[in-house]
């Protein structure tokens, strides 16, 4: 069974840390920023793409003092998250993942979609695969919770490669061959994804309620229930180095 939790619920619960805002913080030093998998907007070069439940809202931000609000692009229903890889945007919705081409950045163009049962699904992409978590519960339908790995090597025809069961997944992130999954009340799970058909568990941080992660160059940031965690990358693991109470 699936359970939908609104973005407004997240903002109320974790109002001290807005992982979407990290997109702008990091963008100050690079052409593109980096946000969590639950982010609702993305900066790509001189453009800002923000999703609401139905549209991609497009802004030209080349002149930050005078940003241009361009024409919105209709993208479907119940759009929840946005992720960028190269010239494509990957939108997570309650019913599937939608892929848009931004080679013409002012006018995102629909490419393809991957449909799944009604569920809540953030998306991250690495190489030929998109990683989607689906969270189970009553509000979204009868879909079981799990990780879906989608083959996007043929971008116009995404197909399911394999799925793994999870308990209560929210956000996820990737750093090199490490896959980080926030499995809600089941904690933070770390996998080696070298072989996507045989994920290897590297660590499981239990007894924390996890929500989303941002894999940075040097450290991993994770937001839990009223706590911001910082981890250090190790060769085959990660190590907790600090926590910050948020209330």
Domains of the chain, residue spans: 7-245
Buried-state track 97-134, b at ≥16 Cβ within 10 A, e below 16: bbbbbbeebeebeebbbbebebbbbbbbbbeebbbbbb
Lowest mean pLDDT among 22-26, 168-172, 236-240: 22-26
The mean pLDDT of 152-169, rounded to a whole number, is 95
Radius of gyration of the chain (CA): 17
β-pairing, 210-215 vs 200-205, is unpaired
Q: What is the pLDDT of residues 95-110, one digit of tens each?
A: 889 999 999 999 999 9
Q: Are 158 and 26 in contact (CB under 8 A)?
A: no
Q: What is the tens place of the pLDDT at every residue in 40-83?
A: 999 999 999 999 999 999 999 999 999 999 999 999 888 989 99
CA angle centred on 57, ends 116 and 27, rounded to 5°: 100
For the domain with range 7-245, which CATH number is right: 3.40.50.670, 2.120.10.30, 3.30.750.200, 3.60.15.10?
A: 2.120.10.30
Q: What is the pTM (predicted TM-score) of this model?
A: 0.84
- Which alpha helices (DSSP H) does the chain contain, by range? 7-13, 22-27
């Amino acid at each position: 069974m699936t359970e939908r939790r609104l973005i407004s619920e997240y903002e109320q619960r974790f109002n001290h840390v807005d992982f979407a805002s990290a997109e702008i913080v990091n963008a100050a030093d690079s052409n593109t920023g980096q946000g969590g998998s639950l982010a609702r907007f993305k900066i790509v070069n001189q453009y800002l793409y923000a999703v609401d439940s139905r549209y991609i809202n497009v802004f030209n931000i080349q002149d930050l003092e005078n940003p241009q609000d361009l024409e919105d692009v209709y993208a479907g229903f119940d759009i929840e998250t946005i992720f960028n890889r190269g010239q494509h945007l990957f939108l997570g919705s309650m019913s599937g993942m939608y892929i848009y081409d931004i080679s013409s950045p002012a006018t995102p163009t629909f490419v393809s979609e991957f449909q799944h049962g009604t569920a809540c699904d953030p998306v991250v992409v690495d190489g030929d695969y998109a990683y989607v978590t689906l969270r189970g519960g009553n509000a979204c339908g009868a879909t079981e919770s799990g990780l879906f790995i989608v083959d996007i090597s043929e971008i116009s025809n995404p197909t399911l490669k394999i799925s793994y069961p999870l308990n209560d997944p929210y956000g996820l992130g990737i750093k090199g061959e490490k896959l980080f999954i926030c499995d809600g009340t089941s904690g933070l799970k770390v996998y080696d994804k070298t072989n996507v058909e045989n994920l290897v568990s590297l660590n499981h941080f239990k007894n924390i309620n996890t929500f989303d992660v941002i894999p940075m160059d040097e450290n991993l940031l994770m937001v839990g229930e009223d706590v911001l965690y910082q981890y250090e990358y190790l060769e085959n693991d990660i190590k907790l180095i600090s926590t910050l109470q948020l209330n």
